[in-house]
Structure 1
Amino acid sequence: MHKNNELYTCRVCGLEQSEPQWGEDGKSPTYNICDCCGVEFGYEDITLISTKNYREKWIKSGAKWNCPKCKPIGWSLDMQLLNIPKNYL
């Protein structure tokens, strides 16, 4: 899809998205929901602190997929977390 393009990557969990969830300018959220962590783009990831807090809460609660049927076979949380844009770690 859009490998290595942080505009297409969830800031919370690192899941690659089909469209830039914060727009091409990185400032215009879609308010869509991430299939993996369930974050609402533009609401729960509006600041670095809120993004980190959401991630921590999601991981502590078991890192369950918001859309279980969307979870790829062989999915690895650790590998996916490596995709998180560095500015949001």
Structure 2
Amino acid sequence: MDNNENLACRVCGFIQCEEPWGEDGSTPNFMICACCGTEFGYEDCTKESVKVQRDKWLDAGGRWWELKNKPNNWDMNEQLKNIPIDYK
């Protein structure tokens, strides 16, 4: 897994400051994604749960969990491209 994939939320693709699943890709930090509100290690622990969480987020309009962290030039489609390949 390259560094960008290791930093990306598995649900929405938002690049995190810390690796949500650690350097090894299997040790979650249980933080909350500022974009989609996913708790790493809980709502994204399986490929199926990632897809369920993503569908819930998209069905709700892809609203930001912490609006203050939303980039001014945010593009949902570009961000979704950051999702790790195994979780698309």
Match of 1:84 in 2: 83
Normalising by structure 1, we get a TM-score of: 0.94
CA distance in 2, matches of 1:60, 1:75: 18
Q: Hey, what's the Cα distance between the residues in 1 that align with 2:3 and 2:59? A: 27
Instruction: Establish whether residue 34 from structure 1 lines up as the match of residue 33 from structure 2.
Output: yes
In percent, how many aligned pairs have the same letter? 52
* Structure 1: segments with no counterpart, 5+ residues: none
Aligned length: 87
Q: CA deviation at 1:4?
A: 5.2
User: Are residue 62 (structure 1) and residue 61 (structure 2) matched?
Assistant: yes
User: 5+ residue gaps in structure 2?
Assistant: none
* Stretches (4+) displaced over 4 A: none
| TM-score normalised according to structure 2 size | 0.95
* 1:5-56 deviation per Cα after TM superposition (whole angstroms, max 9, x unaligned): 2111100000001111101111100000000000000000000000000001
